[in-house]
Structure formats: C-alpha cells, structure tokens
Amino acid sequence: MENIAFIGLGNMGGPMAANLVEKGFSVTAFDLSGAVLDKAVAAGCRKAASAEAAIAGADVVVSMLPSGEAVRSLYLGVHGLLQAMGPEVLLIDCSTIAADDARQVIAAAGERGIDALDAPVSGGTAAAAAGTLSFMCGGEAAAVERARPVLAAMGANIFHAGPAGSGQVAKICNNMLLAIHMIGTAEALQLGVDNGLDPNVLSQIMGASSGGNWSLEKYNPYPGVMENVPASRNYEGGFSVALMLKDLGLAMDTAAGSASSTPLGALAKNLYQLHGGDPINSALDFSSIQNLFRRPVGN
Ligand code: NAD
C-alpha cells in the first residue's frame, strides 16, 4: 500500500484525502489550520506536525493549496520540501495555479530526479466528496501512469493534457468557457422572463434547441428551475464567485503571455468583478451572476 502525504485539506483537499483513505491508502495530513487537520483525522488520516513531517516515508506527495505563491513557497527554496524528498517520490500538485508556477515547481523537482505533475481538478466540492473529479494532468506520460491509481481513487476522469503546466492551461480554458456560457445563459433566461416567459419552459425549449449548454441543463442559474443546484438554495455552496474570479484572472494572465485574443473572457471577468465587488456576492456560487440581470420586484 502506498503512503501518501496530503498537504492542504480544505474544502477540496479534505474530501479528496478522505477518499484516498477509503480506497485503502495510508494518508498523512498537514494543513496550517488545526480545525481542518482535526477533520482529516476524523476521516482516517494521520496528523503530521509539519509539512516536512508529513512527507517522511511518503511514496506520493499530493498538495491542494489556494495559490501559486503557497505552492512555490511549500516546495521551492532552501527550506522547500523538494530539499527533503528523494527521487523515488512522486509529486502531484492539484491546486489551480498559474501554468508558469507549475512549470517552475516541476522543473525544480526534475533537477532532483523527482517525477512531478500539475493535476488541477474540475468538479468542485460535490465531486471531491463523491470521488468523481476530473484531473487534467501536465507532465511526463510516465508520471501520469504512476499517478493514475492515486488519482483514480479521487476521480472519475484522468486526462493527460501535455507537458508540465498543460493541466493548468486546460483548466483555465475550461473555466473561462464555463464563465462565458453561465453569463450567456443568465442573460438569455432574464430576457425571456422580462418578456413574460416561464423560466422553466424557456429552459426546456433552449435545452432541446441550439442554445443548450451545461450551465442551462446541469446548473441552471434561475431559482426554482432545477432542484439540487445552488440557484435553488440562495446560491449557497457550489463554486464561489471569488474562485471563478481567481480562475478568470489566471486565464487573462495566460492570454497576455501568449498574446491570445480573449474578448469574451475579459468581459466575463469584468462582469464577475462587478458582481463580486460586493463581499456577500463574492462568497455566493458563481451562478448568482443571474442577479446582475434580475430586476427588483415591481420594475
Ligand atoms: P480552501 O481554502 O478550502 O483550502 C486550502 C487549504 O490549504 C486551507 O485549509 C489552508 O489552511 C491550507 N493551506 C494554505 N497554505 C498552506 C501551506 N503552506 N501548508 C499547508 N496548508 C496550507 O480551498 P479549496 O476550495 O480547497 O481550494 C483548493 C484549490 O482547489 C484552489 O487552488 C482552488 O482554486 C482549487 N479548486 C477549488 C474548487 C472548489 O470548488 N472549491 C474547485 C476546483 C478547484
């Protein structure tokens, strides 16, 4: 059985580590938050006092952290974890970060003979809990094959997007498109409602027509159209506006680096900025962008 060190057990990392335990892996956990670590212990992880302690004896190190800065400071530099890892270890970073940050960490790992992957995820907290995440991997094909059994314990789809950093590029392309079709869906639904249509009926019509898309059919942003989506619980839970803004920021930085034209991505980022400027909205699910188009009752 492989020993796994898991670093960063928040909303995503916590349930991912719990799935590894459930599938029979031995997981040693470290997080800066004691409360988060206690939850991990309740899920069957062993608690480590530091990141260095967590990786002692680990075959695989998995990290799920909030930012590129957190990932770089964990692994790089004289006090970085790479200094304490032998070449037999496999490093899998599942955080959503800039592709350049991922490439920097993977290159530094490579210099020490360590196989490393960027493997950001799609699916959110529900898929993390259900073990049905999609992993988008960047790195050597052999490293993806080594990682496959570990990733399969946490997800349903494992894609090899290309060399180091490619997982991050795939992730932000997907989330930029998601933001665009969510906004388009909210705008179209509101146009229909403002002209007397029932959002349920309009959703059925567009879903069976050429306007059909994931936001409309699987994650409808209009309250009351679909059960078990954030729109039907005051936009609570799900994927926050703040996290969508983070991903759109990464998409815009990437587009600037490659001189790519992304006008709809830029507009989507602006609209989410406008909506998320209010701290209450910022914590809501990203489908709450519907509220940007809804008129106050009576108007
Ligand atoms: P979170 O804030 O809930 O969890 C991050 C955890 O990392 C926290 O518990 C924090 O204490 C810990 N941490 C931060 N720096 C650390 C360090 N140096 N050492 C140890 N622990 C440290 O965030 P999350 O929602 O779990 O997201 C994690 C990553 O997954 C992010 O990159 C995010 O963009 C990505 N993601 C999130 C979702 C989602 O729906 N929440 C979906 C897809 C991808």
Q: Where are the domains of the chain?
A: 3-164, 169-292
Instruction: Kindly state the percentage of the chain with pLDDT values over 70.
Output: 98
In angstroms, what is the span from residue 245 Cα to ligand 1's centroid? 15
Which whole number is the average pLDDT over 40-61? 97
Say if residue 1's pLDDT is above 80: no
Say if residue 51's pLDDT is above 80: yes
d(CA 105, CA 70): 12
Which whole number is the average pLDDT over 227-237? 94
Of how many residues is the chain composed?
A: 299
Residues 6+ apart with CB under 8 A from 102: 68, 71, 93, 118, 138, 164, 165, 167, 168
Residue 14 CB–ligand 1 contact under 6 Å: no
Burial of 240 from C-beta contacts in 10 A (0-12 / 13-18 / 19+): buried
Residue 240 CB–ligand 1 contact under 6 Å: no
d(CA 226, CA 229): 6
> Count of alpha carbons within 13 Å of 245, Cβ hemisphere only?
19
Q: Ligand 1, atom 30: nearest CA belongs to which residue?
A: 95
pTM score: 0.95
Say if residue 297's pLDDT is above 70: no
Say if residue 100's pLDDT is above 80: yes
What is the pLDDT, as a whole number, of residue 90?
98
Residue 174 CB–ligand 1 contact under 6 Å: no
269 is catalytic: no
Which whole number is the average pLDDT over 142-155? 98
Say if residue 165's pLDDT is above 80: yes
What is the pLDDT, as a whole number, of residue 230?
95
The rounded radius of gyration (Å) of the Cα atoms in the chain is: 20
Which whole number is the average pLDDT over 258-269? 98
What is the pLDDT, as a whole number, of residue 139?
98
Q: Which of 47, 52, 65 to mutate to test the pocket of ligand 1 (most atoms within 8 A of CB)?
A: 65
Q: Which CATH architecture has domain 169-292?
A: Orthogonal Bundle (1.10)
What is the pLDDT, as a whole number, of residue 237?
86
Q: Cα torsion at 242, 218, 94, 177 (round to 10°)?
A: -70
d(CA 195, CA 217): 21
Residue 249 CB–ligand 1 contact under 6 Å: no
Of residues 266 and 237, the one with the higher pLDDT is: 266
Which whole number is the average pLDDT over 34-51? 97
Q: Cα torsion at 199, 204, 207, 210 (round to 10°)?
A: -90
* CATH of 3-164 among 3.40.50.720, 3.40.50.1820, 3.90.1150.10, 2.30.110.10: 3.40.50.720
In angstroms, what is the span from residue 205 Cα to ligand 1's centroid? 38
Kindly report the average pLDDT of the chain as a whole number: 96
What is the pLDDT, as a whole number, of residue 105?
98
d(CA 14, CA 125): 10
What is the pLDDT, as a whole number, of residue 73?
97
Residue among 105, 135, 99, 101 nearest 120 (CA) = 135
d(CA 24, CA 2): 9
